[in-house]
Amino acid sequence: MESKHILVSILITFALFISASNSRPIIRRLPGFDGDLPFTLEAGYIGVGEDDAVQIFYYFVESERNPSEDPLLIYLTGGPGTSVLYSMMYQIGPLNFDLDASWENNITLKLNPYAWNKVANVIYIDAPAGAGFAYATTYEASRSSDSLLASNAYDFLRKWLMEHPRFLSNPLYISGISYMGIILPNVALHVYNGNEHGNQPHMNIKGVISVSPLTDKFGDFNSRFEFAHRLSLISDEMYESTEKTCNGNYVSLYNDLDSIRCSNNLQWVDECTSMINLENILEPLCATTDPACREATFGLVVAWANDKDVQKALNVREGTIETWEWQNSTIHYNLGKNDTVIYSYDVFSTIPIHKQLLAKKCQYLIICGDHDMVFPHVGTEKWIRSLNLPIEKRWEPWFVNDQIAGYQMTYAQSEYLLTYATIKGAGHGIALYKPEEALAMVDEWLDSRIYLSDV
């Protein structure tokens, strides 16, 4: 045991040396924000893969509360191929666009009062290569997959913590949104298994925070039919007829459609739902060029991130990308999309990985907006039930400002704990629609965790 502690001390000393020799400059100012940034921001690259040919770009924002003790979150955004800068600037990061000022004059930034770094240290990463500012130095390294992305994220985390050893003892959570529901459980499993195998550095992993996750590429899309009925987008008659003729399969891609009646019913359902904004069914479906449309504001991040002064401030390596895109269409997944030369969608379902995590000391938080039709909460609830976990706390409301903000329930088995929560009125990007409630749920859940020593 003594020799083990000596080895750990040597490794930490070595890590401190690496950290000192690879220190990243703190970003004091950003174009669009008036004055010095009132939070600690760092941005740069860490290479993974053979010869570090995959250069993952990251933004690190320290907690404004107690960075030495607050949890450490690594946050991946959906797609795949969507830049994490989208999540930062529109959802949970420390800065938002001042829409009124940005439309009228130059792009202007303002502080986000509901940023997640109010309660945690957050590492936002662009991955795989081709997402945001991440890039590859070889053609082979530009190719990725669901499984490789998880492996690269794990390698990134190991290297980042070696460069930032003062955060080794902070409780670590693997977190992200949307398509990353296919990736996050695998990253967590890499960390748990790496710790068990003695990989260094040893990470103080506590669990996962998954927002609006895709978990099963059949079940989650199939659940849109049930969701549409619950939200009165389709009638009882339509629901009953389709249920009877399609035998529980409402995704035409995975349905041989031998039944003409099933095919006709699915077309009927499509007529009633195709003009619905799947991101949030309460929001209008409108053109991205319409300034009154929420989606039109996404053009601001494109203009801002392609500004050479912004890229210089963020320490982006000149010449590594041609044009920054908020979403790389060659990587981004669509229902039924086949593998491309750049990306392989090689994980169909992460339910088997979730079952492996049941044997770990893992605390899992899943948050869904109850008006999200991209990956509806009804599909999430179904696969959670398939884990056959004992219920620790029954379905109950949770509150913000003395109002019901959503509902939650908790499952527990041995040292595994899963909390499932909804946010009332929220869509797919929960913090885009309900930022205060999203922060409140994450803060409340993190504060309720009991951090036991792994030594």
Which helix (H) or strand (E) segment holds residue 344: the answer is: strand 343-344
The active-site residue, picked from 142, 175, 372, 377, is 372
Give the C-alpha separation, 314 to 63, whole Å: 19
* Residue 202 designated active-site: no
* Residue 100 designated active-site: no
The active-site residue, picked from 164, 371, 377, 428, is 428
The active-site residue, picked from 142, 178, 210, 241, is 178
First vs last C-alpha separation in the chain: 11
- Structure token digits, residue 350: 């992460």
Longest alpha-carbon distance in the chain: 72
The DSSP secondary-structure symbol of 29 reads -
- Structure token digits, residue 352: 């088997």
Give the C-alpha separation, 368 to 406, whole Å: 10
Full DSSP string of 216-249: BTTHHHHHHHHHHHHTTSS-HHHHHHHHHHHTT-
Identity of the residue numbered 134 = A
Q: 426 in helix, strand or coil?
A: coil
Give the C-alpha separation, 187 to 159, whole Å: 14
- Structure token digits, residue 47: 């290479």
* Residue 372 designated active-site: yes
- Structure token digits, residue 187: 């990253």
Of 334, 424, 423, 349, which is closest to residue 387 (Cα–Cα)? Answer: 349
**Active site positions, annotated:** 178, 372, 428
